[in-house]
Chain A
Amino acid sequence: MAAIELDGVTKRFGDDSGVLDSLRSSTEADVVTAVRDLSFTVEEGEVFGFLGPNGAGKSTTINMLLDFVRPTSGTVRVLGHDAQEDSVAVRRRTGVLPEGYDVYDRLTGREHVEFAIESKESDDDPDELLSRVGLSQEDADRRAGGYSKGMSQRLALAMALAGSPDLLILDEPSSGLDPAGAREMREIVRSEADRGATVFFSSHVLGQVEAVCDRVGILREGELIAEDSLDSLRDKLESESVLRLEVDGDADLEAVRAVSGVSSVDHDGDKLVVACEPDAKTNVIEAVESSGATVADFETDSASLEDIFLAYTEDDREEVPA
Chain B
Amino acid sequence: MTLESVARKDFRDALRSRWLMGLTVFFALLIGGSTVLFYGVLLKGAGANSESLFGLTTAPGGLFSFSYAGMLGFVLALIALVTAHGSLIDERESGSLKLLLSLPNSRRDVVFGKLIGRTLVVVASMLVGFVIALFAMLFTGAQVAFVSFAGQVALSGLLATAFVSIGIWLSASSNTPRQALFGTIGLYFIFAVLWSTVATGIPRLFNWAAGKVPGIDPMAAEQIVLTRLFIKYLNPLRAYETLIAQLYGSAAAARLFKAGLQESLVLQPILKESIPVYLSGPFILVVLLAWIAIPPILGYRSFQKSDL
Interface residues of A (CB under 8 A from B): 13, 16, 18, 20, 63, 66-70, 87-89, 91-92, 96-104, 106-107, 111-112, 115-116, 118-120, 143, 156, 159-160
B103 within 8 A of A: yes
Q: Name B1-57 residues within 8 Å CB distance of A.
A: 2, 5, 9, 12-13, 16-17
- Are B106 and A88 in contact (CB-based, < 8 A)? yes
B96 within 8 A of A: yes
- Are B308 and A156 in contact (CB-based, < 8 A)? no
Nearest A residue (CB) for B302: A18
Q: How far is the CB of A206 from chain B (nearest CB, A)?
A: 26
Can you list 12 residue pairs at the A/B interface with Cβ under 8 Å?
Answer: A68-B98, A68-B101, A87-B106, A88-B104, A88-B106, A91-B103, A99-B98, A104-B13, A106-B17, A107-B12, A120-B104, A156-B99
User: CA separation between A91 and B96, bound complex, in Å?
Assistant: 16
Nearest B residue (CB) for A145: B16
Q: How far is the CB of B179 from chain A (nearest CB, A)?
A: 8
User: CA separation between A106 and B5, bound complex, in Å?
Assistant: 16
Give the chain B neighbours of A69 by CB distance below 8 A: 307-308
- Are A119 and B104 in contact (CB-based, < 8 A)? yes
- Are A160 and B95 in contact (CB-based, < 8 A)? no
**Which DSSP category, helix, strand, loop or mixed, fits chain A's interface?**
mixed
B105 within 8 A of A: yes
Q: How far is the CB of A85 from chain B (nearest CB, A)?
A: 11
- Are A159 and B103 in contact (CB-based, < 8 A)? yes
- Are B98 and A115 in contact (CB-based, < 8 A)? no
Give the chain A neighbours of B103 by CB distance below 8 A: 91, 96, 115-116, 119-120, 159
Nearest A residue (CB) for B101: A68
B274 within 8 A of A: no
User: CA separation between A271 and B234, bound complex, in Å?
Assistant: 79
Known contacts A101-B98, A104-B13, A104-B96: A88-B105 contact under CB 8 Å? yes
User: CA separation between A226 and B175, bound complex, in Å?
Assistant: 36
- Are B96 and A103 in contact (CB-based, < 8 A)? yes
- Are A98 and B102 in contact (CB-based, < 8 A)? yes
- Are A91 and B99 in contact (CB-based, < 8 A)? no
Set A88, A99, A102, A112: member contacting B94, Cβ < 8 A: A102
Give the chain A neighbours of B101 by CB distance below 8 A: 66-68, 91
Give the chain B neighbours of A100 by CB distance below 8 A: 95, 98
Give the chain A neighbours of B96 by CB distance below 8 A: 101-104
Bitwise interface map of B from 54 to 98 toward A, beta carbon under 8 Å scored 1, else 0: 000000000000000000000000000000000000000011101
